[in-house]
Structure 1
């Protein structure tokens, strides 16, 4: 009966073996990641042909619907990409043009949140914060 409940509660994001490239596209290469406790990982990817970053939050064990989010922000330009909702396996993608800019990004699964600020740029030191709310 538990399996039936999980299937009924599934949303459009119910895909096993999800990868950052499967969500963002094959041209996007993973350039950074941050664990969200033991629940999953948020991935930052970059496409060198178009200068865009893409971020996706992927659960370690897909299953019943949980609140999830993913976001990316470019402080220099104010550009923002995000996705949030109740999903079974991943949230995303969120995309921004990030070539030559620092990016701030993160996501959450259930009550565990991760924020990475000033990431992937030589000018500033990256700052990571994980919190349980």
Structure 2
């Protein structure tokens, strides 16, 4: 009986120590592995990006097979849900898409067909808004605007 109690006590102590270590250990990655390709889907390549202060980045991706553009806004440090957005509008077209909400790590994806057209796109995190106009138009120079509200 004495051996059984000692073995059970040792097992309980080991389980308690393991549980405490597991509970106190930081996860291998505190932030989820979010990339523009994870959000937009396979076949999309990043063709442009713009920082949103130090809070994150808005990405423009393109799928050459489908001619579709995708925009997503990704936070640098995911956490408590905050106001975020991602949007795209294709020049000379009715194509456009917008996503606005309260998110923990990313906004979007937003999609628009844009093969052979300039794109206007942007995103926001909290009170910082970034807009890129006339983007990916070959020789034309894009115009970037950052607004803090």
Residue 99 of structure 1 pairs with residue 120 of structure 2: no
Task: Supply the distance in 2 between the matched residues of 1:41 and 1:110 (Cα, whole angstroms).
Answer: 12
Question: Which structure: greater helix fraction?
Answer: 2
Deviations 1:67-97 (A, max 9, x none): 0000000121021111110000000000000
Q: 1:128 matched to which residue of 2?
A: 144
| Structure 1 segments (4+ residues) deviating >3 Å | none
Task: Supply the distance in 1 between the matched residues of 2:124 and 2:94 (Cα, whole angstroms).
Answer: 21
1:79-118 to structure 2, matched below 5 A, reads 79-118=95-134
Question: Which structure: greater strand fraction?
Answer: 1
Match of 1:58 among 74, 87, 96: 74
1:34-73 to structure 2, matched below 5 A, reads 34-73=50-89
RMSD of the alignment, in Å?
1.0
Structure 1 unpaired stretches of 5+:
1-14
> What is the CA distance between 1:123 and its match in structure 2?
5.0
Q: TM-score, normalised by structure 1?
A: 0.87
Report which of the two structures shows the higher radius of gyration computed on alpha carbons: 2
- The range that moved more, 97-106 or 114-123, is 114-123
Task: Supply the distance in 2 between the matched residues of 1:16 and 1:86 (Cα, whole angstroms).
Answer: 17
More relative contact order in 1 or in 2 (CA 8 Å, sep 6+)? 1
Task: Supply the distance in 1 between the matched residues of 2:146 and 2:46 (Cα, whole angstroms).
Answer: 20
Structure 2 unpaired stretches of 5+:
1-30
The 3-state SS of whatever aligns with 1:45 is strand
